[in-house]
Structure 1
Amino acid sequence: NFQRTGAFKFRGACNAVFSLSDEEAARGVATHSSGNHAAALACAAELRGILAHVVMPKTTTEMKKNNVQRYSPSITLCEPTLKAREETLQKVLNDTGAIEIHPYNNLRIIAGQGTAALEFLDEIPDLDILLTPVGGGGLLSGTAIATKETNSAIKVIGTEPTGADDAYNSFRKGKIIPSVNPQTICDGLLTSLGEFTFAAIQHHVDDIITISEEAIKSAMKTVREKTGMSIEPSAAVPIATILEGKVNPSGKKVGIIISGGNVD
């Protein structure tokens, strides 16, 4: 949440943008995002000196919209559904010829997100459990791959709101269960898993746990009161699982990746 643009997404966006060839980069980049990936991609594009086109749901917080507008004037708003986001993005791609940088179902994005876990384990290599939120799965899959390659004994657990539990259902049923009309305050966790993120999660994640909206809001408040940090709802999800006793930290070293702090 102290990363540039206020969320972990800058890691993956930079890896994706700066690994493009000069010919690809000249076309510009485009994506759909509830905010954090949009700002990260726009910032990375500005650093490389190329254009970024962003599709965002109308329900995105003003702070996240403002974060994007700092770097990219090309924002298209759409209805807050995955179908609307994907259809609107396709129109933008057709109109501009830009390169799509998917917010999570992109191997370079996944690799970039995994660097957060690598830095975590460089400082505390003997963790027992590492928790992250899960929406589209970019952070969780990158974290799981990096963690298991570093120390396979560490348990990697994804955490998700009960009102948007498609990753939980997908993990248990062994196939992607799309998100349909998710109901959660966690606007960063509304999307479904992608084929790349789901495959990584199947192979490397130990469990996915769900938590209530009330517990998420309570965790945000607790973090603010105890640390002075303002974190966004999505980032509070793994903290809520511990505070509610769904993950038992007793006698264990538990790590949490606080994914973002962009909240109105």
Structure 2
Amino acid sequence: MLVQIWGSYSYTEVANNVQKEETVLNIQFVLLDCSHLKFSLVQHCNEWQNKFTTLLKEMAAGRLLELHTYLKENAEKISRLPQTLEELGVSLQLMDTLQHDLPNVESQIPPIHEQFTILEKYEVPVPDDVLEMLDSLNGEWVAFQQTLMESEQMLKKHKEKFKTGLIHSADDFKKKAHNLLEDFSFKGPFTSSVGYVVALEQIAQLRAMLMAMREEENTLRSNLGIFKIEQPASKDLQNLEKVSC
């Protein structure tokens, strides 16, 4: 009967049922003393229950700390004001990831509470700092969702701000490229009065300026691409490149 009880109940129930069994049994002419067996079984149940509850405590505390860290760190990251376009891109990507993960994160909260409820049921001691973290979990989750909503509005405003600035920069670049073409058209070494040494120097200077402007143009086009704005290659620069070849 002791063996039958073993596979059907929790360790506490098994230990209780073992205690209920008779310690001394008469089987025909044999007198059985089960006290040592009962003691060993109860001790075994207690040991395994302690092992499982200790493991559960470690797992629950680990999951709680992991979720607490996730909420805290990501709330801080997404709340930062982007100072550059690169930072804006990183923040927008983070926002998409966090919003996509909301259902998954929320689904982790009830199991954590359930695990600590089990620990409380079996009177497993839990450190005070862990209990404080558990008590604040629901509030942190609500605050995290509020932070996401506020940060989303903040990023939208900054996105428009950066977009407007880029469009102005693109317009300024077009003007600069056009002015460079006009300036070279009037002052370029196109007459015999300009010595070949001076002409070569002017061409070298033009090529250096073209290289710098091409880099600036590529950066502008890449940044505008974040906002899905196409920036065609400058025809003025293309004409200058033909002249300087």
If the TM-score is normalised by the length of the shorter chain, which range does it land in? under 0.3
Structure showing greater radius of gyration is: 2
Higher fraction of helix: 2
Task: Name the TM-score, length of structure 2 as normaliser.
Answer: 0.19
Higher fraction of strand: 1
More contact order relative to length (CA 8 Å, sep ≥ 6): 1
